[in-house]
Structure 1
Amino acid sequence: MSALREIAAIYRASKKKRDINWWTEWVCRPPAAALVYALRHTRVTPNQLTFTSLAVCALAGAMLLAGSGWLWVLAAMLVFEISFVLDCADGQLARLRKRASVLGHLLDFLMDELKAMLLYGCVAVHLWRFSDEPYYLLIGVGGMFCLASGIALTSFMRRPEYGAPPPTEDGQPAIIQRRAGAVGLAVTLLEHAARVVVHYPSYILILAALGRIDIYFWAYTAVNLAYMGRCLAVIGLRLGRFEPGVERGSGSESAGPAQPPGDEPS
């Protein structure tokens, strides 16, 4: 019983202050806390757990490519869930040892996005290969472009040069702020729902149990397309504006193109 109490204490002490969804908090973090308990006095590092999570996700993807059938796909998604438990454990171990850092979060973000592309690509090929429907492959290529673009745009918008807020004390990006008013609340709820769809989609295990991982494929494609469009619109509106107007009659028309501040004509 003392071990169970210590695991519970590790769970409470090492979980994030605000988790992305209930599945993460109540399904994946408890076994992750048990793993952290087993590793707490070892030399295993949080980064090693992060890399192991990627390897386990690759195994799940390979299973999707290798076979079909309800039970096989369900087994592949169970393996994928193990990668999610490992992904939870790396941060919990870092917080328990008070080693959480911005660099560690960046590594975790990188591995998460690699896993996202890997899983989505393998699901697309699986659906194409075992349904004989070519549009799964075609749409999958487009969806992969949207996903990769969203990752690049997110990295850009999180840069301090862009004016992004600083990360939280444990290296996490700024959380979604609740907006005021009915429209603001609707937008906030929509953003949270979209995050549930794209943030380490554990719900794919439920869809696999129902024999409908195609629902994940369509939802993930739609959300990443919308997210890419939103990011491009936000960046375009902020950085793609015209130069300030030049008053007529000031003589500046003949002065040639304006030089950026601090630049001298050659």
Structure 2
Amino acid sequence: MEGRPGYREALERLRSAQKSAKGVSLYSRYVNRPLGRVLAAAAHRVGLSPNHVTALSGVCSGAALAAVALASPSWPLALTVYAGLVLGFALDSADGQLARLRGAANPAGEWLDHVVDCAKITALHAVVLVSFFRFHELPGDGWLLVPLGFQLAAVVIFFGGLLTDKLTPRPAPGARAAHAPAPSRLRAVALLPVDYGVLCAVFLLLGDERAFRLGYTALGAAYVLFCVAFLVKWFRELSASASSAARS
């Protein structure tokens, strides 16, 4: 342990080395990131690497999602699934924070993180489909299309956001950045419907089949609307960036 900072010191370093809150919803900003900081400091203290934490995130999320597909809906299952998903989400935040704390960020770690995220997003809606088919008394077979539509919107938002970030031109080295405005609290509230933490909370309704089905469907409809809005926004931003680069 010699040379490794204690838990409190690691936690303080993490507090002062946070990513920008721009474009981050209220839940991620005030719940998931702080919880991830605590887990990252603990992981650093015991000597875990960022990839270990990513793997733990996948295990927690995977176990919770497997339970949705394998067990009949109940209130104990709802609490168990919610706890597993929230812990997996917090560990997903912790791996990046730990990488920054240790100066160990690298393309392989980022790749692993995104692969686990992709698996988690696709599996979540797949297990809901399985649960609908196996355990729910659905009013009609059309309800089986809801998880598929939700999955499509979620995957497109995930990859669209990643691609937009990768394709957006970075400022030239040494260029003076304009003063960035403070992150908008209103925007943080508006983004709550597409925050993964809110999606996790829907599983608290799993003890009541009708409440879960309606809550999940309502959130799925919100994802579809946000998906359309995001795609238009990202396409316009990238088009404007290309036009600006062509003129310069």
Following superposition of structure 1 onto structure 2, how do residues 30-109 of structure 1 map, counting pairs within 5 Å? 30-40=34-44, 43-67=47-71, 68-100=73-105, 104-105=109-110, 107-109=112-114
SS in 1 for 2:196: coil
Partner residue, 2:124: 119
Q: Tell me how many residue pairs correspond in the alignment.
A: 220
Is the Cα contact below 8 Å between 2:64 and 2:81 reproduced in 1? yes
Partner residue, 1:157: 164
Greater Cα offset, 2-11 or 42-51: 2-11
Percent of residue pairs bearing the same amino acid type = 25
Residue ranges of structure 2 left out of the alignment (5+ in a row): 172-179, 240-248
Residue ranges of structure 1 left out of the alignment (5+ in a row): 168-175, 180-184, 241-266
Is the Cα contact below 8 Å between 1:13 and 1:96 reproduced in 2? no
One-letter amino acid of the structure 2 residue matched with residue 75 of structure 1? T
Is the Cα contact below 8 Å between 1:56 and 1:79 reproduced in 2? yes
Is the Cα contact below 8 Å between 2:194 and 2:226 reproduced in 1? no
For residues 233 and 154 of structure 2, what CA distance do their matches in structure 1 show?
17
Q: Deviations over 1:165-188 (max 9, x none)?
A: 439xxxxxxxx9899xxxxx9xx9
Scaled by the length of structure 1, what TM-score is found? 0.64
For residues 111 and 181 of structure 2, what CA distance do their matches in structure 1 show?
21
User: What RMSD over aligned residues (CA atoms) do the two structures have, in Å?
Assistant: 3.9
Is the Cα contact below 8 Å between 2:7 and 2:41 reproduced in 1? no
Q: Residues 46 and 219 of structure 1: is their aligned pair in 2 closer, same or farther, counting only changes over 3 Å?
A: farther
Q: Residues 198 and 129 of structure 1: is their aligned pair in 2 closer, same or farther, counting only changes over 3 Å?
A: farther
For residues 237 and 205 of structure 1, what CA distance do their matches in structure 2 show?
33
Partner residue, 2:146: 139
1:18 aligns with 2:29: no
For residues 118 and 236 of structure 1, what CA distance do their matches in structure 2 show?
28
Q: Mark the structure with the bigger radius of gyration.
A: 1
One-letter amino acid of the structure 2 residue matched with residue 54 of structure 1? G
For residues 32 and 156 of structure 2, what CA distance do their matches in structure 1 show?
29
Scaled by the length of structure 2, what TM-score is found? 0.68
